Amino acid sequence: MEVDCLKPVTFNDIDLITTYLKKTDYEESNHNIVNMLIWLDFFKLEQWHNDDIMVLICTFKDITFAYMPLCAKNDFLLGVDHIVEIFKQLGKPMMLNCFTEEYVDLLNEHNRNYTFVEYSDINDYVYETDKLRTFSGKKLQKKRNNINNFYKEYGDCYKYEAIDATNIEDCRDYLDDWREDLEDEYLLYESQGIDEVFDHWSQLPVYGGLIRINGCVRAFIIGSDLSSRMGQINVEKADENIRGLYQAILKEFLLRNFKDKELLNREDDMGKDNLRQAKMAYNPVFMVKKYMMKG
């Protein structure tokens, strides 16, 4: 293996990476093709692969790390060996990131000499899909009140649509409005990545929906499959001044999508207190713990 065989990941690699993701059943949000492509300009990705294993090397500012190898579980240790070799050839200390507890345990069982540190700021929030489809139960009473208020106030003037070629430009126009006064570096990069996803919509294994109010897009949502039992919400954007709109776009989307998925991953909170509080308010059933590993 030669380091110069590392190739930059581009939107032309959608089918290739998806093929390797299907070898896994990972339930961690960064191991998702839509997530990777949204953040491609922020987290620079390179890939190496053979017939059975793909390695993804990410560079974020001055930090280089590897994701979990994309392969069948019985090839996982060999995949990590390939990562070790790549870092040796790069002349950099090995760093692995977004490894889940299951695979940290697997490496420990095989006496690999790594130090594992939980990276709690990027732990994923996981929910029961049916709960967020119905907003049932006492713990979601406030959310249910919000959505009932939305339907009462906007029931005659809102419309839900699946995102497709006929309305994707309307979503883009709303995204432009949403980010008009945005200063947060992460959210700015995310919005640019969403534009790229819109550009390649027909190529991606992705689902989307929007809500119009009086004919104008005021919310949209994007999701994709993560594992055999779990869907992932990649993007949720809505007018915060409209009470219940965030709940409505999620509910309407789930009424039409992920009917075969018992769980829903709504990604991490990026270490932001406001996002943490918002995601906790939806009553997650568990968190996907993530670990950074240094050799």
CATH topology of domain 125-288: Aminopeptidase (3.40.630)
What's the predicted TM-score (pTM) here? Answer: 0.95
CA distance 174 to 222: 14
Give the residues across from 60 on adjacent strands: 63
Per-residue model confidence (pLDDT) at position 257: 98
Q: Are 235 and 35 in contact (CB under 8 A)?
A: no
Per-residue model confidence (pLDDT) at position 2: 62
CA distance 133 to 54: 35
Per-residue model confidence (pLDDT) at position 48: 97
Q: Are 56 and 66 in contact (CB under 8 A)?
A: yes
Q: What is the pLDDT along the chain (295 residues), one digit of tens a residue?
A: 665 679 999 999 999 999 999 999 999 999 999 999 999 989 999 999 999 999 999 999 889 999 999 999 999 999 999 999 999 999 999 999 999 999 999 999 999 989 999 998 899 999 999 999 999 999 999 999 999 999 999 999 999 999 999 999 999 999 999 988 888 888 899 999 999 999 999 999 999 999 999 999 999 999 999 999 999 999 999 999 999 999 999 999 999 999 999 999 999 998 889 999 999 999 999 999 999 987 6
Per-residue model confidence (pLDDT) at position 295: 61
Check whether domain 3-122 has CATH 3.40.630.30, yes or no: yes
In the chain, list all ranges with CATH 3.40.630.30.
3-122, 125-288
CA distance 187 to 191: 6
